[in-house]
Structure 1
Amino acid sequence: MTHIVIIPGNGGGDVTRANWYGWAQRKLNELDGVKCDLRNMPDPVIARESIWIPFMRDEMGCGEETIIVGHSSGAEAAMRFAEKYKVKGIVIVSACFSDLGDENERASGYYSRPWEWPRIRENAPWRVQFGSTDDPFISWSEQQQVADGLESDLHKFQDKGHFMNTCFPQLIDVIKKKLKEGK
């Protein structure tokens, strides 16, 4: 059984009704041999690393056989998780490496130290990234620097903004491809 977790961006409310998260969970759970977990995260507004990483490990069961799909703050959580722990792979959406000058983002703790790109690459054998040049929150240069650091398989769009649509078929296609490859 392949274990996939979706780590949402920060915010509030029921994540199963936010963006593409619930839709993707349903689509992934329809695949043979897949169990996808999506939960409302503790500390959803600030999304503190000190709370999210232990929750991902202890409550969601992220580990060596897990594919972590992270969006926005969830992308940073996926990367920081992979700095510490081995995972099957990561799919990050609308990722950045700095706090973007935002006080709330700074308070999360993800940006308090340099990124350990080689360790993430070592602990996550494959890394897929989705980004869009028209993201209203994260500049393309931020997203490109993440791609360069991770040496990710980058899927670049010009018209997806911050990937806040209600469905995300390209994500499902990429995961299906990885599963078919046995990764």
Structure 2
Amino acid sequence: MSSPCDPQHAPAGDVGAALMIIDSRLKAVYDGRTETAPEQQQLIDQFTASLDPEEARAVLDGTCTLIFMFMRWLRMAYEDHDKDVIASVVPNLVAALRMMPKSVPPEAIPTMAGLLVAAGTGLSPSLWRRQYGDWTKDEMNPLEATVFLLAEHINRLTDDRDFATRMIADALSSADQDGHG
């Protein structure tokens, strides 16, 4: 029996926009800045302000797709070493989120953990979240922090600061070629 949270039923969303936002955050951290460069932040702010509700939902779905893809990659990587991705990744990410009280309110952490567990068990994080109602404004920073931390975890595992974003960009490029070629 198929789950209502099966990824095949989930919209992919605007993965490219979600990836652009996370990539800019990663670059800021790797460049030693705690904040995104002002001009880059202004572009992100202008972009997100220009989104209508449907486009904003597409970016949210794209962010959830990133979480799913990152957790899928991590699941395969950890299974290659006979480790469980949920036991190996979720506690560390939850601990990291708890250390960000200005960006991540404590009440958002269970939802972020749920997204990780959903993705780690092969469910769509987007569809899993939707069953509990609409996204809230207070969940936006925690969602961004969660996908950022996943990407950074992958980059540390691979010892390559661009691995996570390159992996997704390559997958998008491959999908474009398959769809148009």
The question of a shared fold, defined as TM-score above 0.5 by the shorter chain, is answered with no
Question: Which structure has more helix as a fraction of its residues?
Answer: 2
Identify the structure with bigger relative contact order (alpha carbons < 8 Å, sequence gap 6+): 2
TM-score, normalised to structure 1, is: 0.34
The structure number with the bigger radius of gyration is: 2
Question: Which structure has more strand as a fraction of its residues?
Answer: 1
